[in-house]
Chains A and B, each alone.
Chain A
Amino acid sequence: MATLEIKDLHVQVQTEDGPKEILKGVNLTIKDGETHAIMGPNGSGKSTLAYSIAGHPKYEVTSGSVTLDGVDVLAMTVDERARAGLFLAMQYPVEVPGVSVSNFLRTAKTAIDGEAPKLRTWVKDVNAAMDRVKMDNAFATRNVNEGFSGGEKKRHEIVQLELLDPKVAVLDETDSGLDIDALKIVSEGVNRFKENGDKGVLLITHYTRILRYIKPDFVHVFVNGQVAEEGGPELADELEANGYDRFVSAAV
């Protein structure tokens, strides 16, 4: 059982010209077993939504609510949100010098589970998760994301997704910058995660091509900080054919 419910969410950021509102009343409910795609042009606020759910300090929630199974997410710290079952796969994963992937993964897993994973099975689990996304096991000894290519960083995000096994995964433009092989590998990872049971997926993307590999149940078109239109997978097909023009001009 997992339901992520976003109600009338307003979010602003500080700019040189004062506060600027980016999200202007977002409503969205993701139930377990559902995959929602959020699509929209650049600057529509898609990534802001992802980071606001995860609790990035740059984004200030001015009104509205986000709850996970009825519990107030906005009252939680960043790490509490992750331990409550939220996961954000980032568009630009951060490099952490001097911290090995293996140490990072074990520390994160320990934090999420509340106890250290059993050493023997854990190493096996990590290696298997890396194998599944065709990441060399040698990456375990490298520093987190340091010197990784764009595709390697995204695979590393999927390894984390599979090992940390959250309730709801938010994938922020995980498809950007990937070639077709990497896109398939990453998509397969997300699909495996979904098959694990009652998982919610919020897939944020600019392009429709990832939706060929990850089938959404719902598609939301995001324009100017709001959901402009909602529908089923057929809405993605329309966007592929016609682009965002209809929505952008309607919003102006």
Chain B
Amino acid sequence: MTAEVLENALEVEKVESHLHPEGSFDLADHPVPVGTEEIWRFTPLKRLRGLHADAALDGDAFKVEVDLPEGVTGTSVAVADSARGASGLVPTDRVSARAWDATTSVFEVTIPEEFTGDQPATLHLIGTGVEVASAGHLLVRAGKFSRSTVVVEYTGSATWAENVEIVVEDGADLTFVTLHDWADDAVHLVSQHARVGRDATLKHVAISFGGDVVRSDTSAEYAGPGGSVEALGLYFADEGQHIEHRLFVDHTAPKTKSHVVYKGALQGEGAHAVWIGNVLIRKVAEGIETYEENRNLVLTDGCQADSVPNLEIETGEIEGAGHASATGRFDDEQLFYLRSRGIAEAEARRLVVHGFFNDLIRKIDVPSLEEKLTATVEAELAKNVLKAL
């Protein structure tokens, strides 16, 4: 290889990889996937009830309950009058593009500039049936220098395709939580895109317990330097359940940070968890720092965890970049230590699983959720780990 060739190779402006998704609003650009595509290869298409193909998205089998702190507004706005697209979301897959097409209104949550509140804004989406498929669009805007928490909770039964946009304006600090607590028959595919302003902070939390298939695609870009994204995920995949989290942090500005930690437990025949952690460090993104981590705890036989971290670096002028992924069973030495202190086996396993999630729950740091999360972990444990008690 001559020096010139090498130089050319290093100066390629565009690399062919799925870390550079070309979005499009035109449905024709998103053919029906067959399952071999990089972005679809882990997803059980047959169980999507046609969300990825041509199923009509005109259902209304859901209701929404909203509880907002004073000052925060939440209203349903016709698409034409909405600020849809404010985050820069451009559909990168067919489900997202179809939901975009099908949506007639946008639910807009607006946190005013310099707002500060401890009480979270909560949106509760309750699915009331799986026979008809529905589409939704949520836009959350955190005004400049505001500090707030938004929790979106999903329960009930639904076949649901959704786009979520998150705009964190300059200097704002937003904690955005999605809690997938669906009934066993729900199918939910959601594309989330966040734009993080200059010196803004986004704590993005994805908690997934319920549903038959839950696929959450989350991407973040930076509108200016100094932005920070912390993405935390906690999931429990049960028998036959498919839970997929796909993350893409696009470091589009210098001095930005991203820290991703996803932890999950799997139990029961056919439980399947997928975690894709993509990070792209653009040439302009000097001085950035990124770390991605995924840990899976396999509690029984018959489960599968797929964990794929990808890191693409276009500049070497960075503070740090790394990732880690580990999937394992119970640590025998931990169990022996606890049991050697008189703690019965099932109780020891319970302690270890709670311990596995505890640090993460502490990091989520939304007091109103903490108790619920611990209780849900306990309820999940009761299905297998504590049966012996």
Contact = CB atoms under 8 A, between A and B. Distances in A.
Interface of A: 54-57, 77-79, 81-83, 87-88, 90, 93-99, 103-104, 107-108, 111-112, 143, 160, 164
B351 interface: yes
B338 A57 contact: no
A157 B356 CA distance: 22
Interface stretch (B224-232, B252-260, B314-322, B342-350): B342-350
16 contacts: A54-B340, A56-B336, A57-B336, A78-B336, A79-B344, A82-B341, A87-B340, A90-B337, A93-B337, A96-B352, A98-B355, A99-B358, A107-B343, A111-B341, A111-B347, A143-B359
Contacts of B348: 79
Given A79-B340, A79-B343, A112-B341, 9 more contacts: A54-B336, A55-B340, A77-B345, A78-B336, A81-B340, A82-B341, A98-B355, A104-B338, A107-B343
Given A99-B355, A99-B358, A104-B351, A94 B336 contact: yes
Contacts, number: 79
Contact of B354 (A90, A93, A99, A164): A99
A112 B347 CA distance: 13
Contacts of A104: 338, 341, 351
B376 interface: no
A78 B345 CA distance: 9
A99 B352 contact: yes
Contacts of A111: 341-344, 347
B342 A57 contact: no
B300 to A, nearest CB: 19
Interface residue SS majority, chain B? helix
Interface of B: 332-334, 336-345, 347-348, 351-352, 354-359
Contacts of A99: 351-352, 354-355, 358
B354 A98 contact: yes
Nearest to A113: B342
B376 to A, nearest CB: 16
A129 B370 CA distance: 31
A57 B334 CA distance: 12
Interface hub of A83, A93, A94 (most chain B Cβ within 10 A): A94
A90 B341 CA distance: 11
A57 B330 CA distance: 14
Contacts of A83: 342
Contacts of B354: 98-99
Contacts of B334: 94-96
Contacts of A97: 355-356, 359
Nearest to A163: B341
A172 to B, nearest CB: 11
B361 to A, nearest CB: 9
Q: Which 6 A-B pairs give the minimum distances between C-beta atoms?
A: A98-B355, A98-B358, A82-B342, A108-B341, A111-B342, A94-B337
A96 B337 contact: yes
B190 to A, nearest CB: 29
A104 B345 CA distance: 14
Contacts of A94: 333-334, 336-337
Contacts of B341: 79, 82, 104, 108, 111-112, 160, 164
Contacts of B336: 54, 56-57, 78, 94
A5 B224 CA distance: 72
Contacts of A55: 340
A49 B345 CA distance: 22
Nearest to A94: B337
A157 B135 CA distance: 57
A54 B338 CA distance: 12
B333 to A, nearest CB: 5
A160 B343 CA distance: 13
B298 to A, nearest CB: 16
Contact of A88 (B340, B347, B358): B340
Given A82-B342, A90-B337, A107 B347 contact: yes
Given A56-B336, A90-B337, A79 B345 contact: yes
A97 B261 CA distance: 15
Nearest to A143: B355
Contacts of B342: 79, 82-83, 108, 111-112, 164
A94 B340 CA distance: 11
A160 B340 CA distance: 11
A246 B358 CA distance: 53
B355 A96 contact: yes
B371 to A, nearest CB: 16
A98 B332 contact: no
B359 A96 contact: no
Nearest to B337: A94
B357 to A, nearest CB: 7
A200 to B, nearest CB: 17
A56 B338 CA distance: 12
Contacts of B352: 96, 99
Contacts of A90: 337, 340
Nearest to A86: B340
A108 B348 CA distance: 10
Interface hub of B334, B339, B342, B358 (most chain A Cβ within 10 A): B342
A78 B358 contact: no
Interface hub of B336, B345, B347, B348 (most chain A Cβ within 10 A): B336
Contacts of A96: 334, 337-338, 351-352, 355
